[in-house]
Amino acid sequence: MTGFGIDLGTANTVVCHQRRGVVMDEPSVMVVRTSEARSRRVRPLLVGHEARDLMGRCPVGLAAVRPLHDGVIVDLESARAFVVGVLGKIAAPAWQRGRPRAVIGVPAGATALERRALLEVAHEAGIRKPEVIPEPIAGAVGCGLDPLEPRAHMVVDIGGGTSEITAFCYGGVLSHRSSRIAGDEMTLALYRYLRSEHQLLVGELTAESLKCRQDTDEGLSSVVQGIDLATGRPRLLTLESAEVLDALRPTADAIIAALAGALDDLPPQAADDILTDGITVFGGSSLLRGFDKLIEAAFAFPVRMADRPLTCVAEGASRCLADPDVVRAYQDTFVEAT
Ligand SMILES: Nc1ncnc2c1ncn2[C@@H]1O[C@H](COP(=O)(O)OP(=O)(O)OP(=O)(O)O)[C@@H](O)[C@H]1O
């Protein structure tokens, strides 16, 4: 029986079937009844896109819940319900008859307790022999790098809740930095900027869509709608792309500082490999316009953007089903977050 590679992310959940490719790529959100939210039997009413559409507009009695925070499970029952909902969405008659296998990406900085919680949740939700792999390693495999070869590589994974910078070689981690400054923090920075500089109150979805629009609106301006804090009435605001990117600059700079720290920790020969080959960048927030140029300007080495930055972790995890050596080599290399 084949299986799945799963990237259970703070913002998005991606599932890649070993043969069929990506079978699900949807927001990590579910809608539950508030009466069940803290109970021992949570049943999601909506999962993924439909649930996200209700964020910020949930009627009384319902709540939109994100089962993961900063890349890890905080509430076991919500997470189990979410994984059951995900498996229900991708169910095909052939595997409904049996329990599928899965390799699941987890932050390289996840603690042993957080990893055990995820394995427990996956098993209870119906996955046979779930295994975990550090997300940066899965993403590297998904981008075509070989984490078992005797040459150092460095990847930067900037997701919704976490940014991880990992250098690895021959089945082991050389240096690692993890930060909670990622896409969600960028959205929050933009929300705060609009509030303080333009006295405009916007919803989370509006702030996020304004942030993501910058990759296509090169040199253009964007119109954003919100509530005027002085009058309490709706107001439209036109913002130049450059202004939005300036508001996001401190968060991007914090990620670049973490990257500098990870480079400082490298032994000289490994640093030489990376300065020659450059680094590979993936995760949804790497799509922020100009982010690769900021890194290139700061370090003067080549920056390779992943072809599929949002799905390469799940794709790499699914490839590892057929290559257990990678999972085995990296299973003891998690760097416990302090
Ligand atoms: N074009 C874009 N420009 C800027 N940010 C973007 C763009 N597209 C997506 N994002 C951001 O990418 C983030 C989601 O990325 P991704 O799906 O890789 O995260 P995740 O795997 O769910 O999170 P984590 O790895 O932290 O658990 C969101 O914060 C989203 O706003």
> What's the pLDDT score for residue 165?
97
316-326 pLDDT, tens digit each: 999 999 999 99
Q: Does any ligand 1 atom lie closer than 6 A to the CB of residue 285?
A: yes
Confidence of residue 230 (pLDDT cuts 50, 70, 90): very high
> What's the pLDDT score for residue 70?
82
Select the CATH number that applies to the domain covering 184-246 from these four: 3.40.190.10, 3.40.50.720, 3.30.413.10, 3.90.640.10: 3.90.640.10
Rg (CA), the chain: 20
148-185 pLDDT, tens digit each: 999 999 999 999 999 999 999 999 999 999 999 999 99
CATH architecture of 3-137: 2-Layer Sandwich (3.30)
Q: What is the ipTM of this complex?
A: 0.99
The Cα–Cα gap between 236 and 216 comes to 20
> Quick one: tokens of 301?
């080495």
> What's the pLDDT score for residue 218?
58
> What's the pLDDT score for residue 72?
85
> What's the pLDDT score for residue 59?
93
Q: How far is the CA of 157 from the centre of ligand 1 (A)?
A: 10
Give yes or no for a contact between 232 and 131, defined as CB atoms under 8 angstroms apart: no
How far CA 126 is from CA of 39, 40, 91, 120, 304, in Å, comes to: 20, 17, 11, 10, 37
Residue 214: half-sphere exposure toward Cβ, Cα within 13 Å: 27
Higher local confidence (pLDDT), 308 or 204: 308
> Quick one: tokens of 116?
């055990």
> Quick one: tokens of 44?
């999601």
CATH 3.90.640.10 domain extents, the chain: 184-246
Position 93 pLDDT exceeds 60: no
41-59 pLDDT, tens digit each: 889 999 999 999 999 889 9
* Beta bridge partner(s), residue 222: 239
Ligand 1 binding pocket mutation candidate from 69, 210, 212 (most atoms within 8 A of CB): 212
Q: What is the mean pLDDT of residues 266-275?
A: 96
pTM of the model: 0.94
Give yes or no for a contact between 15 and 4, defined as CB atoms under 8 angstroms apart: yes
Q: How far is the CA of 183 from the centre of ligand 1 (A)?
A: 5
Give which of 70, 136, 144 is closest to 105, Cα–Cα. Answer: 136
> What's the pLDDT score for residue 99?
84
Q: Does any ligand 1 atom lie closer than 6 A to the CB of residue 310?
A: yes
Q: Does any ligand 1 atom lie closer than 6 A to the CB of residue 287?
A: yes
> What's the pLDDT score for residue 96?
54
Element housing 292 (H / E): helix 291-299
Q: Does any ligand 1 atom lie closer than 6 A to the CB of residue 64?
A: no
Written as one letter, the residue type at 91 is A
146 phi and psi angles, rounded to 5 deg: -110, 105
Confidence of residue 337 (pLDDT cuts 50, 70, 90): very low
Is 230 exposed, middle or buried (CB count within 10 Å of its CB: 0-12, 13-18, 19+)? Answer: exposed
* Residue recorded with tokens 């930060």: 179
3-class SS letters over 305-337: ECCCCCCHHHHHHHHHHCCHHHHHHHCCCCCCC
The Cα–Cα gap between 220 and 17 comes to 39
* Residue recorded with tokens 């507009």: 57
Position 217 pLDDT exceeds 60: no
Position 212 pLDDT exceeds 60: yes
CATH 3.30.420.40 domain extents, the chain: 3-137
